């Protein structure tokens, strides 16, 4: 069983509600779920899509072929009818769409009429649709009824009852009328966790002791701020909506200087404004974590779409020379653990750490058995309280063997904590002399870097140990690459290398990924950008040049069929 | 009790005769009289001659970027509201490069004390017009004279209902000290604009120029009357008022955040066991 449901409609029609509810039903039923969203930059109207794939085996990418289309507007029918699988069905409400389709793949369900008759209001049309989808795939309604109870808890018993009646009406209608429905849901299993990339980063921050998050809203990063703001009271976190991204990063640095773990998040345009602050973090050696959720540029670009166009920007952003770490999680699970690692490294080495995601990962939901808090690391590297008070002398930027100076909490002792964006001495005061400059530059960069590189884990390798064809990528292409390897392995020996701990590039002493690439006949770099930014970085750092590159830059994510199709076209059927 | 010697810092790189020396010495006296010790407050500064201020003192210091002292100060204050946070900037730093941050720091009413060394000229970059330069003044970069309207920080701050708005003069140390102390005691955001002659690049707004014009607000002046404050703040030219132009009792931003009611954020311990509850919400 491996079904894809596509919900299409105008912004404001509730496709998100239908999608979220179905995703939750499937996850709680124990299925593996993958959802992704494709939406326009508008609050009302336009045309948006929520796509859900669910299966009894792990799924981690979207497909182009769709089994059920829930069409809330005419555009959904025009655009996606051709994507239907052989036994696929389109459900729609001919009264709302003011058009009737007689072909056998169409099932006309009066969402609004059923909602009014059974639920008492047309608002419940979406609940009718959810019930109908469940009826089509032969699922019982218990799980949905429990979710409706949770969702409408605050609105009272009557609203819950009305929604339940609406869901049942949709369900029963579909069971009776969908003669062509041949879908069969697998038996239920243990409930799974369903989480999107942005929420995973927010959760990772909360779970890492982040106490301060300042940001300016910008798609697709805003979800991180929304999540953390929702945890403000329960977890004692201050979320500050800054007047601009310049303020956002500077506030985070102020909070970090004061002694708390701090983070900011944005997309490319906002990150452009943060760049000077990034340099300030480096010079003052103030820890900070920055989430950079990419969308297609330049300038405003396609604000709600996806691209991996800012790797080179993240690598080179900010004036001056300093160490940085860049993570590019490929899944919500990686996003969760890497956010934790980002905080650990930022605090340990007093450096900026960037978490590079994109709209596709930010808004995609995955299912998991669960996350293990035992794998989280929390070490307070700061000098506080008595430990600080008991020092006879303190210099914020003292020279040490490993370049890391004690990071004290100002106010905890009589010693003062001084730092400066100007080049400074060990105490943190402004200087001009060449000798101190050299020592400080080396302390910040050369002394820290060898230890930082040791922290970087090797890339994820999946597939044949002696692969002839190696797919390489970073960030959100993880899922589609992994599924593609599974599909292609029956032909040639295929494997993938996925870099989520992206920069510094992992050393090859623990796992020699270069040897694997060099041994393969074909090394294909897969990127959601035009110019192959990772391929360029990789060649610059290692000398290895990929034999092929597959790039998608239409603002849409790679789907399984798209990627395998491109591979066929480039290197012949595998 | 702290003494002046406790505040000894580096040797200032300012021009001889600069108004900043008076401001520095006055500030030291003010904090000594307030009984504040060097580790109990942080000076956040940006870039410019004024921004070097904390290096010539002894105190916690974050000398950041041009124009960005207020966001850093805001983050710092939110993370540790027991710390006194002072932002020391200049007219270019605060009213030019950092103008947007000033608007929003006043709106928030964050408990930061902002002291602006206002010399109506860019000193560090050697003599260009600043937002407070008077219309018509000629500089190397404005050879035809300044066309823009002079920014009036007092009027601006009163319009935004800033909780403490005052103007001092570097040539009137005793009066300035009083303003600094009052600003430090104010709960919310305080703005003290300090007229500070630049002896090198501003040959018009000299000590003498100011001395002929400044006057102290009369004792019966009511700084809580916003309309009168607005009217008085417009005075510039022949007569320039010094003193607390406006004040109110708006609660400080940090006082409105319930999670830091009992203790500053920086003292909150992290309890990883609470994370399980957040995880459960995803099932």
Q: Which of residues 120-139 of B touch A (CB under 8 A)?
A: none
Q: A258, B257: Cβ pair inside 8 Å?
A: no
**B224 to chain A, minimum CA–CA distance in Å?**
28
The values of phi and psi at residue B217, to 5°, are: -55, 135
b or e along B238-271 (b: 16 or more beta carbons within 10 Å of the residue's beta carbon)?
Answer: eebbbbbbbbbebebbbeebebbeeebbbbbebe
Q: What is the pLDDT of residue A573?
A: 58
What distance in Å separates residue A312's CA from the closest CA in chain B? 25
Q: Do domains A195-375 and A457-571 have the same CATH topology?
A: yes
Q: Which residues of B touch A378 (CB under 8 A)?
A: 270, 272
Crossing angle between the packed helical segments A142-151 and A157-177, to the nearest 10 degrees: 150
Was domain A457-571 assigned CATH 3.40.50.920?
yes
Contacts of B267 (CB under 8 A, 6+ apart): none
Percent of chain B with pLDDT over 70: 100
Q: Where are the domains of chain A?
A: 2-177, 195-375, 382-455, 457-571
**Contacts of range B98-103, beta carbons closer than 8 Å, 24 or more positions apart:** B98/B46, B98/B66, B98/B67, B98/B68, B98/B69, B98/B70, B99/B67, B99/B131, B100/A243, B100/A244, B100/A247, B101/A243, B101/A246, B101/A247, B101/B67, B101/B68, B101/B70, B101/B71, B102/B70, B102/B156, B103/A243, B103/B160
- Domain A195-375 superfamily per CATH: Thiamin diphosphate (ThDP)-binding fold, Pyr/PP domains (3.40.50.970)
Residues paired with residue A50 on neighbouring β-strands, in sequence order: A7, A37
**CA A137/CA B47 separation, integer angstroms:** 65
Query: Hey, is the C-beta of B73 within 8 angstroms of any chain A C-beta?
Result: yes
**pLDDT 10s digits, A298-321:** 999 999 999 999 999 999 999 999
| Model confidence pLDDT, tens digit, residues B95-149 | 999 999 999 999 999 999 999 999 999 988 999 999 999 999 999 999 999 999 9
Q: What is the pLDDT of residue A186?
A: 86
Separation in Å, CA of B174 to nearest CA in chain A:
28
How far is residue A482's CA from residue A560's CA, in Å, rounded to a whole number?
10
Which region holds residue A463: left if phi is over 0, alpha if psi is between -120 and 50, else beta? left
ipTM: 0.98
Å between B31 CA and nearest CA of chain A: 15
* Cα(A304)–Cα(B33) distance, integer angstroms: 56
User: What CATH number labels A2-177?
Assistant: 3.40.920.10
Phi/psi of residue A52, nearest 5 degrees:
-125, 130
Alpha-carbon span A121 to A486, nearest angstrom:
47
Residue B118 Cα, gap to closest chain A Cα (Å): 22
* Total beta-carbon pairs less than 8 A apart between chain A and chain B: 195
Rounded to 10 degrees, what is the CA torsion of B19, B48, B244, B75? -150
DSSP B235: -
Q: Name the residue facing B60 among A207, A417, A420 (closest C-beta).
A: A417
Q: Which of A247, A255, A411 sits opposite B101 (nearest CB)?
A: A247
The pair of three-digit structure tokens given for residue A372, joined into one six-digit string: 């293990």
In B19-58, the residues whose Cβ lies within 8 Å of chain A are 37-40, 42, 44, 47, 52, 54-55, 58
Could you read off the pLDDT of A438-463 as tens digits, one per residue? 999 999 999 999 999 999 999 999 99
Average pLDDT, chain B: 96
Using an 8 Å CB-CB cutoff, list chain B residues near A376. Answer: 272, 275
d(CA A384, CA A374): 25
Nearest to A251 among B39, B75, B82 (CB): B75
**How is residue A65 annotated by DSSP?**
-
**pLDDT tens-digit map of A329-351:** 999 999 999 999 999 999 999 99
pLDDT in tens, B2-32: 999 999 999 999 999 999 999 999 999 999 9
Give pLDDT, residue A488: 86
Whether A574 has a pLDDT exceeding 80, the answer reads no
- Prior bond of A220 cis (ω within 30°): yes
pLDDT at A45 over 90: no
Kindly list the residues from chain B whose CB atom is less than 8 angstroms away from the CB atom of residue A230: none
All structural domains of chain B, each given as residue ranges with its CATH number in brackets, are: 14-280 (3.40.50.970)
> H or E segment at A539?
helix A533-542
């Amino acid at each position: 069983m491996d079904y894809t449901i596509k919900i299409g409609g105008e912004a404001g029609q509730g496709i998100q509600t239908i999608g979220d509810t179905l995703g939750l039903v499937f996850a709680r039923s124990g299925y593996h779920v993958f959802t992704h969203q494709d939406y326009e930059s508008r609050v009302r109207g336009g045309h948006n899509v929520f796509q859900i794939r669910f299966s009894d085996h792990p799924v981690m990418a979207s497909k182009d072929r769709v089994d059920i289309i829930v069409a809330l507007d005419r555009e959904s029918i025009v655009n996606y009818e051709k994507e239907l699988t052989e036994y696929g069905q389109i459900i729609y409400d001919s009264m709302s769409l003011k058009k009737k389709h007689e072909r056998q793949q169409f099932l006309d369900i009066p969402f609004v009429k059923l909602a009014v008759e059974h639920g008492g209001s047309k608002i419940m049309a979406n609940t009718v649709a959810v019930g109908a989808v469940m009826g089509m795939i032969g699922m019982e309604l218990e799980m949905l009824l429990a979710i409706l109870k949770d969702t409408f808890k605050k609105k009272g018993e009557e609203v819950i009852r009305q929604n339940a009646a609406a869901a049942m009406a949709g369900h029963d209608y579909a069971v009776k009328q969908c003669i062509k429905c041949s879908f069969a849901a697998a038996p239920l299993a243990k409930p799974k966790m369903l989480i999107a990339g942005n929420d995973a980063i927010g959760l990772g921050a909360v779970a890492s002791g982040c106490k301060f998050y300042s940001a300016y809203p910008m798609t697709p990063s805003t979800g991180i701020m929304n999540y953390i703001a929702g945890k403000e009271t329960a977890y004692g976190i201050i979320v500050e909506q800054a007047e601009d991204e310049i303020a956002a990063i500077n506030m985070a640095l102020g909070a970090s200087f004061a002694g708390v773990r701090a983070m900011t998040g944005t997309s490319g345009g906002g990150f452009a404004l943060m760049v000077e602050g990034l340099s300030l973090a480096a010079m003052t050696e103030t820890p900070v974590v920055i989430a950079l959720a990419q969308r297609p540029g330049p300038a405003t670009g396609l604000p709600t779409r996806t691209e991996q166009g800012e790797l080179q920007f993240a690598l080179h952003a900010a004036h001056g020379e300093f160490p940085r770490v860049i993570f590019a999680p490929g899944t919500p699970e990686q996003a969760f653990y890497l956010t934790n690692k980002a905080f650990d490294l930022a605090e340990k080495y007093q450096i900026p750490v960037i978490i590079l995601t994109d709209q596709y990962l930010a808004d995609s939901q995955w299912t998991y058995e669960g996350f293990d808090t035992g794998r989280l690391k929390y070490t307070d590297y700061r000098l506080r309280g008595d430990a600080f008070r008991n020092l006879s002398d303190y210099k914020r930027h003292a020279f040490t063997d490993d370049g890391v100076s004690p990071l004290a909490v100002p106010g905890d002792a009589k010693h003062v904590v001084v730092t400066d964006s100007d080049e400074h001495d060990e105490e943190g005061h402004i200087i001009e002399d060449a000798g101190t400059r050299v020592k400080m530059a080396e302390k910040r960069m050369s002394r820290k870097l060898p230890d930082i590189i040791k922290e970087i884990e090797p890339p994820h390798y999946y597939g044949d140990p002696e692969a002839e064809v190696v797919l390489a990528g970073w960030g959100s292409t993880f899922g589609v690459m992994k599924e593609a390897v599974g599909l292609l392995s029956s032909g040639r020996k295929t494997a993938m290398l996925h870099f989520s701990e992206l920069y510094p590039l992992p050393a090859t002493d623990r796992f020699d990924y270069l040897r694997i690439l060099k041994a393969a006949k074909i090394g294909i770099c897969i990127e959601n950008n035009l110019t192959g930014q990772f391929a360029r970085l990789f060649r610059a750092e290692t000398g290895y040049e990929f034999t092929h590159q597959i790039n998608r830059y239409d603002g849409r994510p790679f789907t399984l069929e798209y990627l395998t199709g491109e591979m066929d076209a480039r290197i012949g059927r595998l | 009790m702290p003494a002046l010697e406790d505040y000894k810092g580096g040797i200032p790189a300012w021009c001889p005769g600069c108004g900043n020396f008076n401001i520095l010495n006055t500030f030291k006296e003010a904090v000594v009289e307030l009984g504040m010790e060097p580790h109990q407050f942080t000076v956040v500064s940006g870039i410019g001659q004024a921004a070097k201020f904390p290096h010539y003192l002894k105190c916690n210091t974050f000398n950041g970027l041009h124009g960005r002292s207020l966001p850093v100060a805001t983050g710092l204050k939110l993370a540790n509201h027991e710390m006194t946070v002072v932002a020391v900037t200049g007219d270019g730093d605060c009213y030019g490069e950092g103008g947007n941050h000033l608007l929003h720091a006043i709106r928030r009413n964050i408990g930061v004390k902002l002291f602006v060394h206002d010399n109506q000229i860019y000193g560090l970059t050697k003599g260009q017009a600043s937002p407070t330069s008077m219309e018509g003044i000629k500089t190397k970069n404005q050879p035809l004279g300044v066309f823009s309207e002079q920014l009036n920080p007092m009027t601006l701050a009163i319009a935004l209902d800033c909780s403490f708005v005052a103007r001092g003069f570097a040539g009137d140390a005793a009066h300035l000290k009083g303003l600094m102390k009052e600003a430090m005691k104010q709960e919310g955001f305080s703005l003290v604009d300090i007229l500070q002659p630049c002896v090198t690049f501003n040959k018009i707004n000299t000590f003498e120029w100011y001395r002929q014009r400044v006057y102290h607000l009369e004792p019966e002046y009511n700084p809580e009357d916003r309309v009168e404050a607005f009217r008085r703040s417009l005075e510039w030219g022949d007569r320039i008022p010094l003193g607390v132009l406006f004040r109110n009792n708006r609660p400080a931003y940090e006082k409105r955040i319930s999670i830091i009611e009992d203790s500053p954020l920086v003292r909150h311990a992290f309890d990883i066991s609470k994370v399980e509850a957040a995880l459960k919400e995803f099932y």
